[in-house]
């Protein structure tokens, strides 16, 4: 006995494909976040801990209060001069 998809099966398949396509086209968090500036100070950065020299709580350019308390900057922010 051979299975043939009915109307309900096709509706389900089309819905699943549409949802997968929609989710795959959503921008990643990295694309929505500001880029690391391409200025002299930021070009010299090679490790994420160096970001905290300026962006720690009481440093010259602290992170905003709403910024996540994480220290893996390069996972969310990419360099402006990177392709």
* Secondary structure (H, E, C), the chain: CCCCCCHHHHHHHHHHHHHHHHHHHCCCHHHHCCCECCCHHHHCCCCHHHHHHHHCCCCCCCCCCCCCCCCCHHHHCCECCCC
Residue 55 located in a structural domain? yes
Q: Give me the pLDDT at residue 34, please.
A: 86
Give pLDDT tens digits for 34-70. 888 989 889 888 898 899 899 988 999 999 888 888 8
Tell me the pLDDT band of 30, cut-offs 50, 70 and 90. Answer: low
1 part of a folded domain: no
Band of pLDDT at residue 33, cut at 50, 70 and 90: confident
Closest CA to 78 of 44, 29, 40, 41: 29
Domain containing residue 64: 7-76
- Could you tell me which residues come within 8 angstroms of residue 32 by beta carbon, excluding any fewer than 6 positions away? none
Q: Which residue has the higher pLDDT, 39 or 32?
A: 39
Residue 2 lies in a domain: no
Specify the number of domains making up the chain. 1
pTM for the whole thing? 0.55
């Amino acid at each position: 006995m051979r299975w043939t998809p009915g109307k309900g099966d096709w509706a389900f398949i089309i819905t699943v494909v549409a949802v997968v396509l929609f989710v795959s086209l959503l921008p990643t968090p990295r694309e929505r976040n500001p880029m690391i500036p391409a200025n002299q100070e930021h070009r010299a950065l090679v490790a994420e801990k160096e970001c905290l020299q300026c962006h720690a709580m009481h440093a010259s350019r602290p992170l905003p209060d709403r910024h996540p308390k994480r220290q893996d900057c390069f996972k969310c922010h990419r360099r402006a001069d990177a392709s």
